[in-house]
Structure 1
Amino acid sequence: SLYGLPLQTQQTFMIMVMIPIGVLVILILRNLIGLQTLGTFTPVLIALAFRETQLGFGILLFTVITALGLSLRSYLEHLKLQMLPRLSVVLTFVVVLIAAISLFSHKLGLERGLSVALFPMVILTMTIERLSITWEERGASHAMKVAIGTLFAASLAHLIMTVPELVYFVFTFPAILLILVGFMLAMGRYRGYRLTELVRFKAFLNKADS
């Protein structure tokens, strides 16, 4: 039983055992519904960061930093930098921006803003980079759709991962995670339509039937 661990370690494992639940949520959203996100684990990591910043402030923070980072990334594109120096500059910019937001929040008496330091800086940097590449290759509308999908998936995963009853159940019976693995393996063999594809190809199916 995980209750045999020290109390501080128990707090850590209460978070860790919920990560597969968050991954399962993203898996369902992507494989069954067809929601487009920046990978599988990026929304889960953002959802973990929302535990400290709270959902509303975390979404605002993610949006502001990503928007400013995309602006910087667009400027750096004109300098024709290689990928590693470009990522280094974006990461440094993210760190400086997070520090500025923390100082500004402290001056305004918004202590919630101090938790921004726990936001995953590397994840934000890679999110900015991947969104920028998506913007260049697929257009602005697709990049915005992916960004919104990522935020929605992260928000839903956060809400489910922080349900007290669910946290207690999974922590008390961690073997339930093995059942989740079986469900994930079954979903890995699913080759049918996603819900969004049914809407997308509805007109085509109606035309074929007629």
Structure 2
Amino acid sequence: MSFSFPERPKNRLAVIRAIAFSLFGLAIVAALVVSAVLHMPETMLSVPSDSMPTALKRWGLGADHLLLAMPLGAVLVLFSRLVVGIDTFGIFTPMLIALAFLQLGPVLGPVAMGGAILIGMAIVPLLEKFDITRMGMMAVLIGVVALVQFLLQQALGGALLDTAFPVVVSALVVERWWITRQTDGGLEAAWLALATIALAAIIQFSLAAPIIAAITRETPVMLPIFSILAALLISRYRGLRLTELRRFTAVLEKNDGPAGHQSA
């Protein structure tokens, strides 16, 4: 007597799990970003000056918020890499850029840092001809980035920078781009740089969302604890990434065949 057992559709379950997990996280991030954009003060488009507070204060955020919200930024980078499948320059770089954007503003941040990063990338081939060490390259990049952002500040007629943090972060991005360019090529380095800055912009708005500001203000320890638990959960994810679904569709359809047969 022969009979068959229905085979468990592992491939389809993997796809459903990947899509469900990704969409759930993306929906939360989208809600935070939309909330921050809708509640963004009109003055965020202005350059800081003696009469205009820094972008961080115009967001209504304090220095404690940056400290408490930093773990959430790391969770967002982890989610984007392990679940969505977006590669960036490490886990710290997008988060640090997002914190710099919060200090500079959602418009001036990308303009100031983006301009400095592009100029830094342009002079790297010239610096390579001097055959200097990696430490020397970093020192020169910091000087170039600081000069570019100072000139931009003078051109805009305001106090663009109140700390040196964005300068260091911009130089760090150029260094990571330089290393990736040497090992993986210029196209891969350019793509990682673009993905890193785009993710940083998303993290910036997520951390500035009113609900995140309220949590850090009312229950300061809740956000770091939640971020730790979320990081533990995401780190255990071993399924498909959202960006891999199209690439593996043919393989999944081929392997997800008819039920097997067993005899008794």
Q: TM-score range by the shorter chain?
A: 0.7 to 0.9
Does 2:137 correspond to 1:92?
Answer: no
2:49 paired with 1:11: no
In the alignment, does 2:114 pair up with 1:63?
yes
> Which letter does structure 2 place at the counterpart of 1:179?
F
Per the normalisation by structure 2, the TM-score is 0.67
Q: Give the letter aligned to residue 155 of structure 2.
A: F
More helix by share: 1
3-state SS of 1:192 partner: coil
Where does residue 128 of structure 1 map in the other structure? Answer: 174
Post-superposition shift, 1:131? 0.4
Amino acid paired to 1:182: L
Q: 1:207 to 1:80 in 2, by over 3 A?
A: farther
Q: For residues 160-196 of structure 1, what are the alpha-carbon distances to aligned partners after superposition, in whole Å with 9 as ceiling and x for unaligned?
A: 1111222112331234232321221122222222111
| Alignment equivalent of 1:187, drawn from 230, 234, 255 | 234
Shift of 1:200: 2.8
State the partner residue of 1:157: 203
CA apart distance, 1:37? 1.0
Distance 2:162 2:169 in 1: 13
Once residues 256 and 187 of structure 2 are traced to their aligned partners in structure 1, the CA distance between those partners, rounded to angstroms, is 32
- Aligned partners of 2:187, 2:93: CA distance in 1, in Å? 20
Q: Which has the larger radius of gyration?
A: 2
Structure 1 SS opposite 2:160: helix
Question: Sequence identity of aligned pairs in percent?
Answer: 27
**In structure 2, distance between residues paired with 1:64 and 1:121:** 12
Corresponding residue to 1:115 among 160, 171, 177: 160
Range with bigger deviation, 119-128 or 74-83? 119-128
Instruction: Please provide the CA RMSD for this pair.
Output: 2.1
Contact 1:74 1:132 in 2 (8 A): no
Give the count of matched residue pairs: 195
CA contact (8 A) 2:88 2:94 kept: yes
In structure 1, the partner of 2:123 is 72
Gap regions ≥5 residues in structure 2:
1-60, 258-264
Contact 2:120 2:174 in 1 (8 A): yes
Rounded Cα–Cα distance in structure 2 between residues aligned with 1:188 and 1:151: 23
Which among 216, 238, 247 is matched to residue 200 of structure 1? Answer: 247
